[in-house]
């Protein structure tokens, strides 16, 4: 029987979602607790990687077990045993064909910049007091929409077959003292959102023109793009499946 976990986590204390040697990961932390509760070795499969320090306010993972599981009790016990920076919202049965990673049709990330120093938000927002031109940033972000090669915004030497992604939304909004960037796509590359945001910040500062941003995207050269900004402001906030 296949089960889905709907969860969230603050990624500050983790090397990312995926298990890494000698560093704590979200995946390994849940594996350990779930295996102990079910009395069998469980290896959960997540919706995708998140890098070190990146958060997820909405995340899905699946695991298989033939045991008779009380889902209400399992959720309760998981939340009792997991650290406070990981929460399980629900555990529910799904079709054996539903895959947490490969069945997902869309993912959405947000990146939050704060212009006001806030010591209580240093783990979830990026403090950037410099004034930015949000209109120019949005005009540049429009160039991201559609199916394109995003090599210019990808970490080099990753284990993927291609760097083609289909972006359906890329937009900045100003809320109080925050600038929030929302981007949705069928898939994301390693470091893609953070390097896009870093390059859009250069546009907002007037360092990079909208035309230059288009050229950077078309160049398929990571060295032409801006710096990858800190992980703290990045959060995976939605994953869509056709069967959920």
Name every residue whose Cβ is closer than 8 Å to that of residue 51 and which is 6 or more positions away in sequence.
Answer: 16, 190, 191, 194, 231, 234
pLDDT at 200: 98
Residue among 111, 104, 124 nearest 185 (CA): 104
Instruction: Give pLDDT, residue 158.
Output: 66
Threshold 0.85, pTM exceeds: yes
- The per-residue pLDDT for 182 is 98
* Angle subtended by helix axes 71-81 and 26-38, to nearest 10: 130
C-alpha torsion 167→176→124→18, nearest 10: -10
**Do 150 and 165 contact (CB within 8 A), yes or no?**
yes
Asked if 123 and 12 touch (Cβ cutoff 8 Å), the reply is: yes
Given the residues 51, 135, 202, 212, the one annotated as active site:
51
The yes-or-no answer on residue 149 being catalytic is no
- Give residue 32's region: left, alpha or beta (phi > 0; psi -120 to 50): alpha
For the chain, the 3-state helix, strand and coil shares in percent, each to the nearest 5, are: 30, 30, 40
> Per-residue pLDDT for the chain (244 aa), expressed as one digit of tens each?
999 999 999 999 999 999 999 999 999 999 999 999 999 999 999 999 999 999 999 999 999 999 999 999 999 999 999 999 999 999 999 999 999 999 999 999 999 999 999 999 999 999 999 999 999 999 999 999 999 999 999 987 666 789 999 999 999 999 999 999 999 999 999 999 999 999 999 999 999 999 999 999 999 999 999 999 999 999 999 999 998 8
Q: Which uninterrupted H or E stretch holds 58?
A: strand 55-64
- What H or E segment, with its residue span, contains residue 205? helix 192-205
Helix (H, G, I), strand (E, B) or coil at 172: strand
């Amino acid at each position: 029987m296949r089960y889905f976990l709907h969860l969230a986590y603050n990624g500050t204390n983790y090397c990312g979602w995926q298990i890494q040697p000698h560093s704590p990961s979200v995946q390994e932390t849940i594996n350990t607790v779930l295996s102990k509760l079910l009395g069998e070795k469980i290896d959960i499969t997540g919706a995708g990687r998140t890098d070190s320090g990146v958060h997820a306010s909405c995340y899905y993972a699946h695991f298989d077990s033939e045991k008779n599981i009380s889902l209400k009790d399992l959720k309760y016990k998981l939340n009792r045993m997991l650290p406070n920076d990981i929460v399980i919202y629900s555990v529910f049965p799904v079709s054996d064909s539903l895959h947490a990673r490969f069945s997902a049709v869309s993912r959405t990330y947000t990146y939050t910049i704060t212009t006001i120093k806030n010591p209580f938000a240093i783990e979830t927002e990026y403090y950037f007091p410099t004034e930015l031109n949000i209109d120019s940033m949005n005009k540049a972000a429009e160039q991201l929409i559609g199916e394109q090669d995003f090599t210019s915004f990808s970490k080099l030497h990753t284990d993927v077959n291609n760097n083609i992604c289909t972006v359906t939304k890329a937009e900045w909004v100003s809320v109080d003292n925050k600038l929030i960037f929302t981007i949705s796509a069928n898939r994301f590359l390693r470091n893609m959102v953070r390097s896009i945001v870093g390059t859009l910040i250069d546009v907002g500062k007037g360092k990079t023109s909208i035309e230059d941003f288009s050229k950077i995207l078309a160049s398929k050269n990571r060295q032409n793009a801006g710096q990858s900004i800190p992980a703290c402001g990045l959060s995976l906030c939605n994953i869509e499946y056709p069967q959920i």
